[in-house]
Structures are given as C-alpha cells and as structure tokens.
Amino acid sequence: MLYRRQVLGAAGRGALMVGAAGLLRPRLGWAEGAPVSPGVPSGTAASAVLDALPGKKPLIKLSYRPPNYETPLQYFGDVITPNDAFFVRYHLSYIPEVDVNTWRLKVGGDAAEKAMEFTLADLQGGFEQVELVAVNQCSGNRRGLSNPHVQGVEWGYGAMGNARWKGVRLKDVLEKAGVKKEAIEVAYDGADSGVTDKTPDFVKSIPAWRALDENTLLAWEMNGEPLPHWNGYPLRLVVAGWTGTYWMKHLTSIEVRSQPLGGFWMNPAYRLPKGKFPLVDRFVSQETETNTPITEMVVNSLITSLAEGAQVAAGQALEVKGLAWDGGRGIQTVEVSTDGGQSWRLAALGEDLGRYSFRPWSFRFTPAAGAQSVMVKATNAIGASQPLQALFNGAGYHHNAVQVLNLQAA
C-alpha cells in the first residue's frame, strides 16, 4: 500500500479560502470583455467570474470546491507564466497547508531495495539540483471547446502554464532507495484528500522507465521562488512533456511497484480510446484492449496578442504573436493563414528555452477592410501537426484543433 498521507499544519477543512478580490461581476464572453474562451458552453460563460485565491491574481473561476481556476489570455504574452497567474487544478476539495518543518517524503514499495524518508533539506542538499523549463497543461485543456460538449471542467485555453522548475531528478532519489529489476511502475500520493473517506484518493503512477527519465523531477521551486501553495508546495512531481494529471502536488509518498496500480484515477479516469491518437510514449502496463492512459501532450498553438472579435486597422501592418508547444519533440514550424486555410505562410520562431517549453512565434500581415480571420498551425520535429478539427473523445482530452481567430478591420 501507499504510505498514508500526512495532513500537516492544516487550518481545518475551511482552509480553502477566496481572496478579497474575488467574486467580480459575471462575464458573458470575450466580445463583452469577459475572460472565458469563445466556444465554451453558455452556462460556463454565464457563471464564470474573475476571482483571486490567496497569493494569486484574479483568475477565471470554473469551480470552487475543488478549486479549478484558469489563467486569462493576457498572462500568456510572455513565454514564462507568472506564479501568481498560473492556473490551479485540483480533483479533491481538502487541501491542507503543509508544514515543511514536519513534512516528510516517504519512498519505498515492493520493488524498492529499502524504504527511505527525506526532509526537504535532505533533497536540497543530498542530490544534484537541476532546472528545467516545461509546460504544465491539464489533460482537459480546451475541453469546453469540444463539439459536442462533454462532461468535466469546461476549460478554455488557459488550463496551462510554462515555468522554470528547480529540484532534483526523481531517478536520483529512486536510485538511493534502490530499484529492483521487477519494477514496472512508480506510484505516488499527495496531501490533498476528499471531504469524506468515500472519495477516491488521487493516487497516480507512471511507468518505471518514465520515472527514471532525466526530465522527471521532484521540484520545490517555480520561477525562482518556492512553489506556491496552489501549485504544490512544498514539493511536486514534474513529468516534462506529459499532461498535468501526472504532475502530483504536495507529494508525500512514492512507491516503486512490481504490479500495475489500480484505482479510479488510473482506470477509468484519464483514458483515451485505443488508436484514437498517435502515441509515442506508451504506458503499456496500463493499456487494455479498448483504451490507453493519456500520456504526452499533443502539438498545439495559441494566438496570444489578440482576442476574438478584436478591432484592427485595415491597410496597416499587424503583428500577430503567440505560443506553440508539444510533448517534448520540439516545435519545428508555425504556419499562419489569413485566407481561410487556402494558403499558409511561415511565422518567425522566437527564443528556444528547451523542447518542453512554450516556443514564442510572430507573424506580420496587412489586413484588408472587413471581416478577417487568422488561423495558426504548429508542427513538431517528428512531423506531427494540428488537425483542422479536434479528434472527438468523450473526456474532451487533447483538443488541439487549428485555432481560428476572427477580427474586424476598419
């Protein structure tokens, strides 16, 4: 069994609090200045508000218990997403304030040579420290744009962020405990929990080979500062290139396993129909005849400098900017169309902070008077590109259809 979590320094089950800047007026859509992405269900658009959790700027609140807060488009103007604007995603409602002085990370399992326990100081002083810039993106990012709509948190474009993570390699810690040849998965748990013991604990696992990858980190720092509470303080898992379901927050225990992990959050949750999406990183020990776990992010892009329906000047050069990313193969090209997809021209790529990072891009054109659309499409280093229409699945995962942004030029 996984070690029982330590719920440390909790302020009680009322610890989840809304900041004084919260509960602004409802926003009804970008055309009215609302933060929600165009295309999300009307009920989501009508109920969304800008709300500030403690330590955060006002974000788009999609649910309060558990807290699910989306980053507004304006914060994607830079490659690195600010900590106080970084999205918040939880499955469970009880999120204790962890006391780092009594917190411990327990490492063991039937496929570990020995059980060990680490303080944060042990991790910071006992292993090589590394930094990595990587996108953390919810598996359901853009779910709200699914057609037809599906159940789940109706995210728009902002259930993601890019940060510089600092910590130690998970493999270095596991090697300290010893990994037996029988190891097939590494499972882990965090300090958050449901309000009752009937709520399935959010426990996840990754293949042993992915746990031993040099780009899987135990991170305590985000953009040069300690992890914010809402993003996993004091320690979280960073599985660079894979979707956010594997990036466990408030880590308390790690278990090296000789058998696949069961439980709701492994199956049926976070599954894709087998063969629906091309996969490079397979999670073989968790596959079935009909479905497979979601793993790496698919190639995607976003226009960040303009909002839907923006008014622009006809006959004057306009620079469009945005971001592109994928699961770590690296962005090869970004193309833009201003004629409804009849022709595509290359955008200029900006600074490369590493293959797991957002890659900025820019494109200049001169809009004619009247209605104008801009479409953007990214392709990665192994030739994967964005489809014109999202590949539908019942969970709304991997929405990466080519974005079409409508403008008015006058």
- Could you tell me how many residues make up the chain? 410
Q: Residues near 107 by Cβ (< 8 Å), separated by ≥ 6?
A: 115, 116, 117, 118, 173, 174, 176, 177, 253, 254, 255, 256
**pTM of the complete model:** 0.91
C-alpha 199 chain-centroid distance = 23
Which tokens in the block code for residue 392?
A: 């539908």
331-337/370-380 β-pairing: antiparallel
Fold of 300-409: Immunoglobulin-like (2.60.40)
Report the top-level CATH class of 105-293. alpha beta
- Alpha helix ranges (H) inside 79-133: 120-126
Closest Cα to residue 118, out of 128, 129, 109, 108? 108
Chain segment 320-338, per-residue pLDDT in tens: 999 999 999 999 999 999 9
Q: What is the pLDDT of residue 30?
A: 36
For residue 29, pLDDT over 60 is answered with no
Domain with CATH 3.90.420.10 in the chain: 105-293
d(Cα 371, Cα 310) in Å, to the nearest integer? 10
User: Can you give the pLDDT at residue 385?
Assistant: 97
Task: Provide the pLDDT for residue 283.
Answer: 97
- The closest alpha carbon to 297, from 244, 248, 356, 242, belongs to 242
- Residues of the chain with pLDDT > 70: what percent? 92
- Among 355, 341, 352, smallest CA distance to 404 is for 341
Flag whether pLDDT at 5 surpasses 50: no
Q: What is the pLDDT of residues 123-171, one digit of tens each?
A: 999 999 999 999 999 999 999 999 999 999 999 999 999 999 999 999 9
| Percent of the chain with pLDDT strictly greater than 90 | 88
What would the two tokens of residue 409 be? 């030029």
